[in-house]
Amino acid sequence: MWDLILLGLIITLEPVPVAGFILLLSTKDGTKKGLAYIAGWVACLVALVVSTLVVTGGHAPRAHSLPGRGVSAATVLIGVLLLAFAVIERRRLRAGPRAPKPPPKWASKVDNMSQWASAGLAVLLQPWPLVVAGVALIAEADISSVASVVSLVLFCLLSTASILAMEGYMLFAHANATARLAALREWLNRNRTAVLAVLALCAGVLLMAKGAYQLAQ
């Protein structure tokens, strides 16, 4: 399930949750809130993996069965939607600079945010289109296969890798991390549209190609 691993890498680079996590780390007791954010993020991913496996019974649907065709068709559809999103974001780039959007409402509350709220923020900021794409791939997992189990674990770990790295950086090199992560957040805010377009393009091509190949067999 190499495609699930690649999707995990794409999710971890998604700019919105990364920028939100950096903002959270910059507040009072930011590292504690960061740990709560990570816990909420991982719990959400694990819940989606487990619920998907419960629905599928932990076994991939047969390739030529109706459920198998349905999963493949859903994979293609999600891929097409992601490609359409990439095209829209690309057109926004070509249209030139736009007036900056006002910060989201939650951004004004991070200073006084509790750890429970920080965990909830992680669920809110999940890149849901990509996570739904992950569900389509998880539906093909076979828990009797060691390779599938390893892929599922790697998916969760890789999807969390960027925020884990930033949390560790802030814990062990606070002075340097504060300035560099703030600079990274500014860069993400300036280049958010371009980053989203590239990530959506990569995920869309991956999913559409896989689903189309399965349907053609």
Look at residue 97 in the predicted model and tell me its pLDDT.
63
What does the block give as tokens for 78? 């999600």
> What DSSP string runs through 120-157?
HHHHHTS-HHHHHHHHHHHTT--TTSHHHHHHHHHHHH
Report the alpha-carbon distance of residue 71 to residue 77 in Å, rounded: 10
For the segment 60-119, what is each residue's pLDDT rounded down to a tens digit?
777 677 777 888 888 889 989 999 999 998 888 887 666 566 777 888 888 889 999 999
Terminal-residue alpha carbon distance, the chain: 18
- Mean residue pLDDT across the chain: 88
Residue 150's domain spans which residues?
2-97+106-216
The percentage of residues in the chain with a pLDDT greater than 90, rounded to a whole number, is: 50
How far is Cα 177 from Cα 25, in angstroms, rounded to an integer?
10
The torsion of the CA quartet 68, 71, 77, 83, rounded to 10 degrees, works out to -110
Q: CA distances (Å), 36 to each of 156, 159, 162, 180, in order?
A: 16, 16, 15, 22
Q: How confident is the model at residue 165 (pLDDT cuts 50, 70, 90)?
A: very high
Residues 4-31 have pLDDT tens digits of 888 999 999 999 999 999 999 999 899 9
At 158, is the pLDDT very low, low, confident or very high (cuts 50, 70, 90)? very high
In total, how many domains does the chain have?
1
Tell me the average pLDDT across 160-183: 93
Q: What is the pLDDT of residue 91?
A: 87
pTM comes to 0.88
Mean pLDDT comparison of 39-48, 129-138, 182-191, 195-204, highest-scoring range: 39-48
pLDDT band, residue 161 (cuts 50/70/90): very high
Q: For 129-156, how does the pLDDT look when each residue is reduced to its tens digit (9 = 90+)?
A: 888 888 888 888 888 888 888 989 999 9
Using an 8 Å Cβ cutoff, are 164 and 37 in contact?
no
Using the structure block, give the residue that is written with the tokens 């900021």.
Answer: 125
- Report the 3 state secondary structure along 78-117: HHHHHHHHHHHHHHHHHCCCCCCCCCCHHHHHHHHCCHHH
